């Protein structure tokens, strides 16, 4: 089943638009993805993470299973993205 899409236009100060684009890029997202991620709790207030996601969140908050890298290049190499 095809998803119907529509266009949304928002008027804002060009400095605010630039800041949003920078924040989206810093998070590795398109502006659309970034805004939808921010709005998701408002659009779907009853949506709860599944058990696997909750377990990952809890482990991350406890500092378990985390990897650290000296720089971005090292991380890319570890992920096989170099």
DSSP 2-49: PPP---------HHHHHHHHHHHHHTT--HHHHHHHHHHHHH-TT---
Q: Domains of the chain: which residue ranges? A: 12-47, 50-82
Q: How many residues are present in the chain?
A: 82
CA distances from 48 to 15, 27, 38, 65 (A): 34, 22, 15, 23
**Chain centre to alpha carbon of residue 28:** 7
pLDDT band, very low/low/confident/very high, at 56 (cuts 50, 70, 90): very high
More confident residue, 81 or 36: 36
pTM value is: 0.54
pLDDT (average), residues 6-29: 94
pLDDT band, very low/low/confident/very high, at 3 (cuts 50, 70, 90): confident
């Amino acid at each position: 089943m095809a998803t119907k899409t529509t266009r949304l236009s928002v008027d804002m100060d060009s400095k605010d638009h630039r800041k949003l684009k920078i924040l989206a890029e810093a998070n590795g997202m398109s502006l659309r993805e970034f805004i939808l991620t921010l709005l998701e709790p408002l659009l779907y207030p009853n949506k709860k993470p599944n058990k696997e996601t909750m377990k990952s969140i809890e482990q991350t908050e406890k500092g378990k299973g985390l990897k650290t890298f000296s720089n971005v290049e090292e991380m890319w190499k570890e992920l096989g993205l170099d």
